[in-house]
Amino acid sequence: MTSTRRVKTAVAAAGISSFALLYAPQPVLPQLAAQYHLDPGGAALAVSVATGALAIAVLPIAALSEVIGRRPVILTSVIASVVFGLLLPLMPTYPALLVLRALQGVAIAGFPGVAAAYLAERLGRAGVAAAVGAMIAGNTIGGMLGRLASGFTAGPLSWRGALFVVAGVGAICSAITVVTLPPGTRPRGDAQLRAVARGLVTALSKRVLLAQYAVALLAMGSFVALYNAAGFRLTGHPLDLSPAIASLVFLAYATGSVSSAAAGRLVARVGRRRALIGALLLTAVGAALTLPNSLPLVIAGFLVLTCAFFAAHAVANGWAAADAPENARGQVGGMYTATYYLGSSVGGAAGAWVYGHAGWPWLIALVTVWLLLAAAAVGAWTAPARPWGASPFQSIGVGRHNRPEPASCPQSGGPVDKYSGRRRDQQSAAHR
């Protein structure tokens, strides 16, 4: 197995483990609500406390990875999250379950907060897009498998047995990561607190990166809000599906694994900006399709919004990793992940609350506003700079002869790097 393939295999397995464990409680939220006499918002805390803890922990863990290295952080993350997953079904009360879920969220934070920086350092700019696509494909497969496993086994095994089954799946995948993950670059010896702080300032100073954080926050909040409420909508009147059948909605994640892996080709064809805005708008269209009380339309809506969301996530995550300055890769990855899971925590809880108190149409209205705000942030903060003498239309890739990859500068004819926008054969000459 080549080194690049080992990297992709390792991060895909880590993604499957991490996301299966993170979202395993989502299909059994109605069962948790019934057992502990909770409303949808209270039950959704089983997901939100984990993602909230992840959002809080990810920046300190990303800073730690600058000192001790990315690989030790990733390996500790996948092992510890499985241990907490095995203990979770043994918790005697709902508050105890929430405490352990928070600890599990902290443990999981080590993988998504560090993985993009690890890939950028290990594979370089040229290979990071494909590797990030493989990682996110693993994330989507993990989310789908974890949800399906818990949804289908909750009936015969109860929700406790269902969570234990998912922890077993996570244990297998974490073992694959431990065996296959190659060493990363050596940690910088000068990575002191001041250097880490400078990197964080850098991560917050570029408008193009702020746009990606906005996408992570608002799009993920929309996505988790919809899926947190999906179980209640599908098992309630008028659809009245059984929990096992309702969990089949998570098969929509298969479209997400395909779209995230294909996102790099979409970027090469139309450019990152148009690909990202288009994916966000398509996510809103998918959400709108779920409004009628028609099971085929609800299913079609979840297929569309899941496919589009993961394409948007892959583009935004790869964009942030590629544009991160070398001295701030860990901090950029940490900021992206922190905003991503802050959106999951706050948006998921808020969406479940809105659904419980106002119904599905108001939830769709809420997530549509969030998605439009994310698209507006991309449009406002990522307008590409034009080469000197180029037309305004060339900068946005209008016309089949002006696609971003490959492109040429009128002065030199040299190829343009699809992530940085700089001519590859003129970068050194620019400093002479």
pLDDT at 139: 82
- pLDDT exceeds 50 at position 47: yes
Quote the tokens at residue 350: 């808020």
Q: Which stretch of 177-186, 192-201, 220-229, 309-318 has the lowest confidence by average pLDDT?
A: 192-201
Quote the tokens at residue 130: 């494909």
SS3 of the chain: the string is CCHHHHHHHHHHHHHHHHHHHHHCCHHHHHHHHHHHCCCHHHHCHHHHHHHHHHHHHHHHHHHHHHHHCHHHHHHHHHHHHHHHHHHHHHCCCHHHHHHHHHHHHHHHCCCHHHHHHHHHHHHHHHHHHHHHHHHHHHHHHHHHHHHHHHHHHHHHHHHHHHHHHHHHHHHHHHHHHHHHCCCCCCCCCCCCHHHHHHHHHHHCCCHHHHHHHHHHHHHHHHHHHHHHHHHHHHHCCCCCCCHHHHHHHHHHHHHHHHHHHHHHHHHHHHCHHHHHHHHHHHHHHHHHHCCCCCHHHHHHHHHHHHHHHHHHHHHHHHHHHHHCCHHHHHHHHHHHHHHHHHHHHHHHHHHHHHHHHHCHHHHHHHHHHHHHHHHHHHHHHCCCCCCCCCCHHHHCCCCCCCCCCCCECCCCCCEECCCCCCEHHHCCHHHC
Q: Which stretch of 47-51, 271-275, 390-394 has the lowest confidence by average pLDDT?
A: 390-394
Give me the percent of the chain exceeding a pLDDT of 70.
Answer: 85
* CA 272 – CA 403 distance, rounded (Å): 11
Give residue-wise pLDDT tens across range 230-272. Answer: 989 998 889 989 888 888 888 887 888 788 878 888 888 999 9
- pLDDT exceeds 90 at position 221: yes
More confident residue, 26 or 386: 26
* CA 383 – CA 389 distance, rounded (Å): 17
pLDDT at 125: 65
- pLDDT exceeds 70 at position 401: no
Are 387 and 411 contacting, i.e. CB atoms less than 8 angstroms apart? yes
Q: Give whole-number Cα distances, 308 to 320, 324, 330, in Å.
A: 18, 24, 27
- Cα torsion angle, 352, 355, 358, 362, sign: positive
pLDDT at 392: 35
Tell me how many degrees the CA angle 164-170-174 measures, rounded to the nearest 5: 145
- pLDDT exceeds 50 at position 389: no
- What pTM, to 2 d.p., does this model score? 0.73
Q: Any residues with CB less than 8 A from the CB of 115 and at least 6 apart, and which?
A: 11, 14, 15, 70, 74, 135, 333
pLDDT at 24: 94
- pLDDT exceeds 70 at position 418: no
Q: What is the phi-psi region of residue 271: left when phi exceeds 0, alpha when psi lies from -120 to 50, beta otherwise?
A: left
The residues spanned by each domain of the chain are: 3-184+193-381
* CA 103 – CA 50 distance, rounded (Å): 7
Q: Any residues with CB less than 8 A from the CB of 330 and at least 6 apart, and which?
A: 62, 63, 65, 66, 70, 114, 117, 196, 199
- Cα torsion angle, 18, 19, 23, 27, sign: negative
- pLDDT exceeds 50 at position 412: no
pLDDT at 163: 95
Per-residue pLDDT band at 193 (split at 50, 70, 90): low
Give residue-wise pLDDT tens across range 13-24. Answer: 999 999 999 999
* CA 59 – CA 197 distance, rounded (Å): 11
State the amino acid at position 284 in one-letter form: A
Q: Which stretch of 71-75, 190-194, 301-305, 358-362 has the lowest confidence by average pLDDT?
A: 190-194
The fold for domain 3-184+193-381 equals Growth Hormone; Chain: A; (1.20.1250)
Q: Across all residues in the chain, what is the average pLDDT? A: 83
pLDDT at 390: 40
pLDDT at 66: 78
Are 111 and 64 contacting, i.e. CB atoms less than 8 angstroms apart? no
